[in-house]
Chains A and B, each alone.
Chain A
Amino acid sequence: MRKLSLLVCSLVLLSLAACGSSSNDLPPIPAGSGGGGDTPVATTASIMGKISFEGEVPKPGKIITSADPNCKKELFTEDTKVSDGGLENVIIYVSGGDVAGKSYPVPSTPVEIDQMDCHYIPHALVIQVGQKLAVKNGDMTLHNIHTLGEANTTWNVGQAQQGMVNDHVFDKPEVLLPVKCDVHGWMRAFIAVLNNPFGTVSSQGGKYELKLPAGKFEITAIHEKYGKQTAMVEVKDNDHSTVDFKFKASDAKSGN
């Protein structure tokens, strides 16, 4: 009888552990060129689509990198990256709807951004409030990481050696939060700090996929240069809806 009780208890514990594991081990959000890491929230539906680009695609500008001989010679601006008619580096995230008033567990895995060949990889990324951002210096040169948040406190730290990693945590939601390197003035990255785990970045061909729980959501697509658009979407369990966005060349913000 005692052995039977132990067996039952063990089975219950194992099944509980398995349940926990099934919710925690969901595949990470496909994040295009950057994403929020693992999502410790059950996501049973998804939306996917394409961020198309209309109008003349601006030619990427060649960056003069002669100020630092350690930087790659051939670097181009990344503010408009279009492939197969789709705009890359657009951040798509849940900005309202059934996420309002809810709190979500913070993923334990950090979101990583690397400085390689004097540019940021990825160029755009999503992170959750409280989640760790790990900034790595993959270059044989010096960088400083300088966040230009308005809601979040400014962070500016130097990395003098290759391989250095510095961590930072944002404590308030903020979209978009630019990151720059003052050593190499052309280096820019953009972060969406969200208070939910539902965000991703468009990749090759402007495609994206955003995993969601069932519910009604406001979806925002935002780009550093072409502004933002929103759409309302309602998904049920196992739904796979399509939501496309279109950005126009004429929407480009002019620099000051």
Chain B
Amino acid sequence: MSRSVRVADSLHEEGENIGLHRFALFTACCTALLIFIGGLVTSTESGLSVPDWPTTYGWNMFAFPVSKWVGGIFYEHSHRLAASFVGFLTLILAFWTWVAEKRQWVRMLAVAALGTVMAQGILGGLTVMLFLPTSVSMAHACLAQTFFCLIIAITLFTSPRWKQGLPIAHPSADADSSISLPALCATTTAAIYVQLLLGALMRHTDSGLAIKDFPLSFGRIIPPFTSSHIAIHFSHRVGALIVSVMIVWTFLRVRSAYRKYDLLRRPATVMFSLLWLQLTLGASTVWSSKAVLITTAHVATGALVLGTSVLLTLRAWTMIPARSAEPSKPSRPSRPAGEDARVPSWQ
């Protein structure tokens, strides 16, 4: 094969891969929008406004007349159509990845995303057919977040920058090294996920206004636990406090030790900013007695916080050498530290 042909092949492959990455990014954006629309269904209590599934009032759901999208049907039916669209995008993404992607584990990840979106569709149908049982509705809400994380991971792994290899990041010499950033990021991500789970439990048990004041709870720091609704609601508040501490800690750690690494600093800053937005929305949800748009924005922002944390965690795990390799004990002495050092990114 001549050199010119090889260069052409390489450029062609590069173009395909950028296309795949952009398509994954588009799917991630659509998924975020889908989570927002799903949140609207719960906020407007429209989950059972279309009693049948997969049909809509007896129609094929794609043929349901627009003139009949009234009241709660508008939200529920839009959610079903948006979910079908994201399912279709995921099918294309999985097929495209399977054909174009050489890394087996990325292909398997795309297949896992397809399986997840199918399971999510079935859970959505089940929650309608079983009249919104808390367990199924919660599973539906949490699987949505898991799927979003998977799509974000695929978007990251198919990005040209990831494939070229990310720089090895070394902490500043004067930085506190009590805990490694990858471990801290992973813990933060886990805390956010648990917090989203508690949020879903609160929404689907109708405990959102079990405590009607904020920041106090019935005028006290610890409320009287006279009902399970109060306990669930309060656990979400405690979770918010823990997550806030974790995110601020992560942000400060990145700022102090990895400031010069844009790939870490940017998501950490975005996550930190989203935290304040999320806390404001959470408080406003209580103060506004669960105003539909505020409550739904709270759900969607929660997903964005999780997504950003996943992105930061994956980059941190890849860019930062193992705990023992931090400045005092470098594990890659042969590699020069800084932006020019590259790691193979699990390829």
Query: Do A and B make up one complex?
Result: yes
Which residues of A pack against B, CB within 8 Å? 67-70, 141-142, 144, 146, 154, 156-158, 160, 181-185, 256
In terms of DSSP, what is the predominant structure of the interface of chain B?
loop
Minimum CB distance partner of B59 in chain A:
A160
A to B CB contacts below 8 Å, 15 in the list = A142-B73, A146-B51, A156-B131, A157-B51, A182-B46, A182-B49, A183-B46, A183-B70, A183-B71, A183-B72, A183-B73, A185-B45, A185-B46, A185-B71, A256-B210
B51 contacts A158, C-beta separation under 8 Å: yes
A185 contacts B44, C-beta separation under 8 Å: yes
| Contact residues in B for A185 (Cβ distance below 8 Å) | 44-46, 71-72
A143 to B68, CA, bound (A): 11
B70 contacts A70, C-beta separation under 8 Å: yes
| Contact residues in B for A70 (Cβ distance below 8 Å) | 70
| Contact residues in A for B70 (Cβ distance below 8 Å) | 67-70, 141-142, 183
A83 to B210, CA, bound (A): 33
A126 to B76, CA, bound (A): 32
Q: Is residue B209 contacting chain A, with contact meaning CB distance below 8 A?
A: yes
| Contact residues in A for B45 (Cβ distance below 8 Å) | 182, 185
Q: Is residue B58 contacting chain A, with contact meaning CB distance below 8 A?
A: yes
Q: Is residue B218 contacting chain A, with contact meaning CB distance below 8 A?
A: no
Out of B52, B72, B210, name the residue touching A182 (CB < 8 Å).
Answer: B72
Number of A-B contacts (CB under 8 A): 58
Query: With A182-B72, A256-B229 as given contacts, are A144 and B49 in contact (CB-CB < 8 Å)?
Result: yes
Q: Is residue B48 contacting chain A, with contact meaning CB distance below 8 A?
A: yes
A142 to B51, CA, bound (A): 11
| Contact residues in A for B72 (Cβ distance below 8 Å) | 67, 182-185
A70 to B73, CA, bound (A): 14
| Contact residues in B for A184 (Cβ distance below 8 Å) | 71-72
A67 to B57, CA, bound (A): 18
| Contact residues in A for B23 (Cβ distance below 8 Å) | none
B51 contacts A67, C-beta separation under 8 Å: no
Out of B46, B74, B206, name the residue touching A256 (CB < 8 Å).
Answer: B206
| Contact residues in A for B71 (Cβ distance below 8 Å) | 67-68, 142, 183-185
A181 to B46, CA, bound (A): 9
Out of A67, A141, A157, A160, name the residue touching B74 (CB < 8 Å).
Answer: A67
Q: Is residue B47 contacting chain A, with contact meaning CB distance below 8 A?
A: yes
Out of A67, A158, A256, name the residue touching B52 (CB < 8 Å).
Answer: A158
Give a binary string over B177-215; 1 marks a CB under 8 Å from any A CB, 0 the rest. Answer: 000000000000000000000000000001001100000
Q: Is residue B279 contacting chain A, with contact meaning CB distance below 8 A?
A: no
CB distance from A181 to the nearest CB of B (A): 8
B206 contacts A183, C-beta separation under 8 Å: no
B58 contacts A160, C-beta separation under 8 Å: yes
B48 contacts A144, C-beta separation under 8 Å: yes
A160 contacts B209, C-beta separation under 8 Å: no
| Contact residues in A for B76 (Cβ distance below 8 Å) | 182
A160 contacts B49, C-beta separation under 8 Å: no
A67 to B51, CA, bound (A): 19
A191 to B209, CA, bound (A): 26
A158 contacts B44, C-beta separation under 8 Å: no
A154 to B48, CA, bound (A): 12
Q: Is residue B50 contacting chain A, with contact meaning CB distance below 8 A?
A: yes
8 closest pairs, A vs B, by CB? A182-B49, A68-B70, A183-B71, A160-B57, A156-B51, A154-B131, A158-B51, A67-B71
Out of A69, A183, A256, name the residue touching B49 (CB < 8 Å).
Answer: A183
CB within 8 Å of A: which B295-324 residues: none
A157 to B74, CA, bound (A): 17
| Contact residues in B for A144 (Cβ distance below 8 Å) | 48-51
| Contact residues in B for A158 (Cβ distance below 8 Å) | 50-52, 57-58
A156 to B46, CA, bound (A): 13
Interface centre among A68, A142, A146 (most CB of B within 10 A): A142
Minimum CB distance partner of B209 in chain A:
A256
A144 to B76, CA, bound (A): 13
Minimum CB distance partner of A185 in chain B:
B45
Query: With A160-B57, A256-B209 as given contacts, are A146 and B68 in contact (CB-CB < 8 Å)?
Result: no
